[in-house]
A and B are shown apart, each in its own frame.
Chain A
Amino acid sequence: DTEVTQTPKHLVMGMTNKKSLKCEQHMGHRAMYWYKQKAKKPPELMFVYSYEKLSINESVPSRFSPECPNSSLLNLHLHALQPEDSALYLCASSQDAALGLRGADTQYFGPGTRLTVL
């Protein structure tokens, strides 16, 4: 099973709202990722968690706040977003990229959350 789930599927929020995106995987993967994808562009890495610790933050504005409560869950807290933050937000997981084992860095994507900021 290579399933990553994300909720909600769609989210519309105002610039003063606070909302959260959720991601879950039950594959025993130890690395989890948040990406942002705009139309006709490749996914753009935002954050990486490895063994529940933040290992990469790609200089993402503080209005995006990631959280990894346990090895299966990843949240992205949103606050005071701008209309230009409207995009498809993708979660992915991999076994453990740092193991150096072939296949361990293969990322599996969830279905995404389509975010619209008004």
Chain B
Amino acid sequence: QKEVEQNSGPLSVPEGAIASLNCTYSDRGSQSFFWYRQYSGKSPELIMFIYSNGDKEDGRFTAQLNKASQYVSLLIRDSQPSDSATYLCAVNGGTSGTYKYIFGTGTRLKVLA
């Protein structure tokens, strides 16, 4: 079983729609959860981090964390073609310690104009 799982996609959504990206993790001791966006050939860019159960909103982005079910999701409202990228979920603070992120393999999002 992979430690952090993401659907590799591509996830295709029309412009203006809500894109929903999901991530599950296996280490119940995980403390912090991150979403990064990575354009092809570029470095990961932090979108959001979340530590507590519930929702956290930042502009068009909402992160949702459910520790009991061990999943974290990212919603992108009013999706734009510029949101087309790979979205990496990263989990930290479990048995691997506080310095070693466990990354998912990423979900490729395509927003269709």
Contact = CB atoms under 8 A, between A and B. Distances in A.
Interface of A: 2, 31, 33, 41-43, 45, 48, 50, 55-56, 88, 90, 94, 97-98, 100, 102-103, 105-112, 114
A43 B51 contact: no
What are the 4 tightest A-B residue pairs by CB atom distance, in nearest-first order? A42-B103, A97-B98, A112-B43, A109-B43
A28 B43 CA distance: 21
Interface residues of B, number: 23
A25 to B, nearest CB: 13
Interface of B: 32, 34, 36, 41-46, 49, 51, 88, 90, 92-93, 98-101, 103-106
B88 A108 contact: no
B99 A109 contact: no
Contacts of A88: 41, 43
Nearest to A56: B99
Nearest to B101: A107
Contacts of A105: 32, 92-93, 98-99
A108 to B, nearest CB: 6
A102 B45 CA distance: 19
A112 B43 CA distance: 6
A105 B43 CA distance: 18
Contact of A42 (B41, B49, B51, B105): B105
B65 to A, nearest CB: 13
A111 B34 CA distance: 18
Contacts of B100: 45, 48, 56
A43 B49 contact: no
